[in-house]
Amino acid sequence: MTVKGKLILMRHGETDHNKQRLMTGQMDVPLNKTGEEQARTAGLLLKGIKIDKVYSSTLSRAFNTAALALETAGQKLPIEQRVELVEGDAGEFAGRNMDTDPEVIKYVRLYDNSAPGGESDKQVVARVQKIFDKEIRPRLERGETVVVSSHSGTTRCFDIVIGLEPTPADGTARKRRLIPNAGPEVHEYEDGVRVRSYALANPNVPLKTANQNNVNDAKKFKP
């Protein structure tokens, strides 16, 4: 008998930093009113799905997105906060504007390098891989549905961990797919193998990868 599990990944709702196009990284910036409503809308999408386990980043915007979504979905579950799921450290770029700051604009982000004083995608992938291998994958193999509420950068690193995107070579720039605020995406597993990926709001359309159209300029440091 086939054992079917689901991994539901969700970026946090909007913050004022998102709205103002400011780098956030590991700064604990809260949801704004729009972000709270986005989280509740995500909860409507989750209604009717039996969720077995919920993880979130330790940052409040991710935790509160999960909490509001679960409340709206009518599911009372504890949310386990994990430091492995926090956003990549933006270092000296934290709080600076992505569109107007000259240093941020000219910075070329490669897979294995980072902003000054920050964290590379490769480093984030390593910590996401650890929690996936130790805790999430075994749950999927048991047929559980796992929700992870985190960040755009963390979600893009999950792309590599779960095989949606191949691991980039060191020294290369990643194409970076757009991750909407509080837009749950589902990765279906059968006997521990990912078989289908889609946005929960549009389940009949396969999730686009970083090599398709919904990407950011890989040469620019994006949130």
The region of weakest confidence among 116-125, 180-189, 208-217 is: 208-217
Assign residue 91 a region: left if phi > 0, alpha if psi is -120 to 50, beta otherwise?
left
Q: What is the architecture of the domain spanning 4-216?
A: 3-Layer(aba) Sandwich (3.40)
Q: What does pLDDT average to over the chain?
A: 93
pLDDT tier at 210, thresholds 50, 70, 90: low
3-state DSSP assignment of residue 99: coil
Nearest to 51 by CA among 77, 72, 71: 77
pLDDT digit string (tens) for 30-48?
A: 999 999 999 999 999 999 9
Q: Indicate the pLDDT class of residue 212, thresholds 50, 70 and 90.
A: low
Active-site entry in 84, 87, 119, 188: 87
Predicted confidence (pLDDT) per residue in 59-110, tens digit: 999 999 999 999 999 999 999 999 999 999 999 999 999 999 999 999 998 9
In this prediction, residue 208 carries a pLDDT of 80
Give the whole-angstrom CA distance, residue 117 versus residue 171.
18
- Angular region, 103: left φ>0, alpha ψ -120 to 50, beta rest: alpha
pLDDT for position 174: 84
Q: What is the pLDDT of residue 221?
A: 40
The answer to whether 80 is a known catalytic residue is: no
pLDDT at 220: 42
Domain locations along the chain: 4-216
- How far separated are the first and last CA of the chain, in Å rounded? 42
Asked about 87 being catalytic, the answer comes back as yes
Q: Is residue 216's pLDDT more than 70?
A: no
